[in-house]
Amino acid sequence: MKFTPIRCPIGAMLLAMLFAGSLSAQDERNIRALEPGKPIERQIAASETHSYSLRLEAGEFIHVFVYQRGVNVAATLIGPDGKKLLEADSPLTMQEAEWVTHVASATGEYKIEVRVVDKAAPPGRYEIREEEQRKSVPGDEPRLSAQRLLAEAKSLYDENKADSYRKAIQKYGKALESYRQAGRLREEALTLNCAARAYTFISDYKAALERFQSALSIYQKMGDVHGEGITLHGIAYVHSVAGRYDEALRFFEQTVDARRRVGYRAGEGSALRNLGLAYDGLKRYEKAIECYDQELVVRREMKDRAGEANVLDKLGNSYYSLKRYDKAIEYFDRELVVRREVKDRVGEGNGLGNLGNSYYSLSRYEKAIECYEQVLMVRRAVKDRAGEGNGLNNLGNAYYGLS
């Protein structure tokens, strides 16, 4: 096959160079300077990266906090040569802080980039604050070492393996010692929460609760309601996965209250959903429906269509559990409209299956068959062989019901 060569006239090349230069200048203007004692608060969307500059002399120590206010961000420090020096990104946190602790090895312009970790997350706010900029002293080493340990622990955590979680816990423990030695309460609280999450994933719920409770005490002492909210959520989640739903209810209710106090609507919605799930676990379906109804208001207010579909699914299932099949059908129908709008094929297949089950329970087998046949089409399209098998089984049961 022959390809036609692309010819670029000199004028076009010069125009492209000029345009590229203007973009670079525009990027420079978008970089905001960080100054000690002058915090900057901004909203950030999943597609954005915010850049901040600070000039450091060789041997200077800096400590910069990024306070997350409903969005999980990562903070990356870049040196004067453009190379990445470190990244701060604690796992599963939208209400705590990231921080950058560093000693400059060379004089020059350094940059901190802030980006959203979850690309599907709704916009959220954060505050970046340069807390310290001074000459380094020997006593800074424990904090610098702790920063490195946190990065190593996060890499292990992300491997999502039991052994890796255990190794991460060891590193969190060493970092914790350093922060306690330096009297750094906020860093201590977040490190405790990170360790608690790792303990949760290896089902050591006692150790997880001990660390969450210690972190909660610190945040309450500091008057940090954001930190309280995410820690309370962690405590409630541990009780929930351990099957202690009454305790989970108590802490999820406190989570909802804390998140309402700071106006964190997305977090309020998540807490309401988990509160509903805890009521489901206790078979208190009417109370679960109350929670899901409140969450639905939040999701619609935020224009979170995917989240709205998930809530409609929960409402349908709760009504199904109450044997109110007509009401379940109403919610599953509404769910399917949203799933198709956001092109969620897997969710569409699940919704169709639940809709078919509801019709089956009403002995409306023809309608159930219609749904199960659509389930098969979706499962085959997404290459879900197990789901296809379940769909065939349900389809067979529906035809048997007709006989």
Give, as one character, the DSSP assignment of residue 56: E
In a domain, 373, yes or no: yes
In angstroms, the CA 272 to CA 315 distance is 13
Inter-helix orientation angle 265-281/285-301, to 10°: 160
Of 99, 115, 135, the residue at which a domain comes to its end is 135
What are the residues whose beta carbons fall under 8 Å from the beta carbon of 126, sequence distance 6 or more? 41, 42, 44, 66, 67, 68, 69, 71, 73, 114
In a domain, 33, yes or no: yes
Q: Does residue 317 contact residue 355 with C-beta atoms inside 8 Å?
A: no
In a domain, 288, yes or no: no
pLDDT score, position 29: 54
Q: Which domain holds residue 349?
A: 304-403
Tally the C-alpha atoms within 13 A of residue 384's C-alpha that lie toward its C-beta: 18
Any idea which residue has 């409209």 for tokens? 337
pLDDT score, position 121: 81
In a domain, 66, yes or no: yes
In a domain, 43, yes or no: yes
pLDDT score, position 122: 81
Q: Which two tokens stand for residue 14?
A: 């010069």
In a domain, 37, yes or no: yes
In angstroms, the CA 100 to CA 52 distance is 13
pLDDT score, position 120: 79
Residues constituting the chain: 403
What's the burial of 6, exposed, middle or buried (CB within 10 Å: 0-12/13-18/19+)?
A: exposed
| pTM: predicted TM-score of the whole model, two decimal places | 0.85
User: What's 89's domain CATH number?
Assistant: 2.60.120.380
Domains in the chain, number = 2
Provide block-wise average pLDDT over 10 residues at a time, the chain (403 residues).
Answer: 40 39 47 94 94 97 95 96 96 90 97 93 92 96 96 96 98 97 96 98 98 98 96 97 96 97 93 96 97 97 94 98 98 98 96 97 97 96 93 93 88
Any idea which residue has 């749904």 for tokens? 371
In angstroms, the CA 80 to CA 246 distance is 54
In angstroms, the CA 131 to CA 47 distance is 27
In a domain, 339, yes or no: yes
Of 135, 156, 189, the residue at which a domain comes to its end is 135
In angstroms, the CA 233 to CA 83 distance is 37
What are the residues whose beta carbons fall under 8 Å from the beta carbon of 291, sequence distance 6 or more? 272, 273, 275, 276, 279
pLDDT score, position 2: 41
Give me the sheet containing 60-69, strands edge to edge. 40-44, 124-135, 60-69, 97-103
Of 111, 135, 159, the residue at which a domain comes to its end is 135
User: What's 332's domain CATH number?
Assistant: 1.25.40.10
In a domain, 96, yes or no: yes
